[in-house]
Amino acid sequence: MTTAPTLVASDLDRTLIYSAGALHLTMPDAEAPRLLCVEVYDHKPLSYVTETAAGLLDDVARSTVFVPTTTRTREQYHRIRLPGPAPRYAICANGGHLLVDGVSDPDWQAQVAGRLADECASLAEVRAHLVAAADPAWLLKERVAEDLFAYLVVERALLPEGWVKELARWADSRGWTVSLQGRKIYAVPRPLTKSAAMREVARRCGATLTLAAGDSLLDADLLLAADRAWRPGHGELADSGWSAPHVDVLDERGIAAGEEILRRFLGAARSADSGADSGADSGADSGADSGADSGADSAARGVPG
């Protein structure tokens, strides 16, 4: 009997991997964990996990269907070198691209394009509004990702209070969502979700248990769609007090939260496997006992077993 796999869909930045500015190392320097660089950008180290997290991630990738799930573009995702075997599936561009062995699935691309055309305002309209509403005094960069969504890189300290909320109200009426993550303000079409792509991967691999983790508002739909989920003690979701009955809120912040999330993934996956094995053994034992008892009873009655 083959046990259905457990699917683990996890956000990356500030959930599993951390830049130097997001490490949140509050302990004395001599007690800080050893770090492993998992991303280099412009010839410089950019993102890290702890060495302990690297071992845990290797275990997760070998024992589950591990699906990196990110708002990053495909190019940005491919810069990351995670420990463990290469994931068969990955979700990029907030669900806009479903990678299979590193290559974007064309059928999924077509489904996404159809939903965006039918359900929300165009990227061109939203991008034009972003540029017009932003102030050059605090706007550093304006970018479009994968021709699917737009984002601004801003000087956070100069960003006017209430500007993001006003943008979110404008975008909501046009079928778009807004998220502030670090120095980036994302404008993303509402139909473009990590959860939809996760469900598609679960369908393809036959997973019956889905686990997820994330720290930002763009991860909320992913956490809600999973059977069990976790969020760290930092990030947009923590700042807003967001929660759900099946989502565990961790005390850990920074890179320590990445370690703890991986421990929770492993614990839940192993519990599921143990439960399945126990059920299978119980069924086999019960069937064998029942057959033996039935045969003994039949023999006692002189009936062929």
Give the residues across from 9 on adjacent strands: 67, 212
pLDDT tens track for 258-279: 999 999 999 999 999 887 665 5
For the ranges 32-41, 194-203, 213-222, 267-276, which has the lowest average pLDDT?
Answer: 267-276
**Mean pLDDT of all residues in 177-189:** 93
Q: Is 170 helix (H, G, I), strand (E, B) or coil?
A: helix
Q: Which residues contact 197 (CB under 8 A, 6 or more apart)?
A: 69, 91, 95, 98, 108
What pLDDT digit, counting tens, does each position of 96-145 carry? 999 999 999 999 999 999 999 999 999 999 999 999 999 999 999 999 99
Tokens of 21: 């500015």
Give strand pairing partners of 189.
Answer: 176
pLDDT the model gives residue 147: 96
Q: What was the pLDDT predicted at 279?
A: 53
Element (H, E) at 99: strand 97-100
Give pLDDT tens digits for 142-182. Answer: 999 999 999 999 999 999 999 999 999 999 999 999 999 88
Query: What average pLDDT is seen over the chain?
Result: 91
pTM of the full structure: 0.87
- From 57, 58, 36, 53, select the one nearest 45 (Cα to Cα): 36
- 57-77 pLDDT, tens digit per residue, is 999 999 999 999 999 999 999
**Token duo for residue 132:** 């017009």
Q: From CA 265, how far away is CA 29, in angstroms rounded?
A: 29
Of 52-56, 180-184, 276-280, minimum mean pLDDT range: 276-280
The model's pLDDT over 3-25, given as tens digits with 9 standing for 90+, comes to 789 999 999 999 999 999 999 99
What pLDDT score was predicted for residue 289?
Answer: 47
**Mean pLDDT, range 215-221, rounded to an integer:** 95
Can you give the pLDDT at residue 4? 85
Q: What is the pLDDT of residue 277?
A: 61
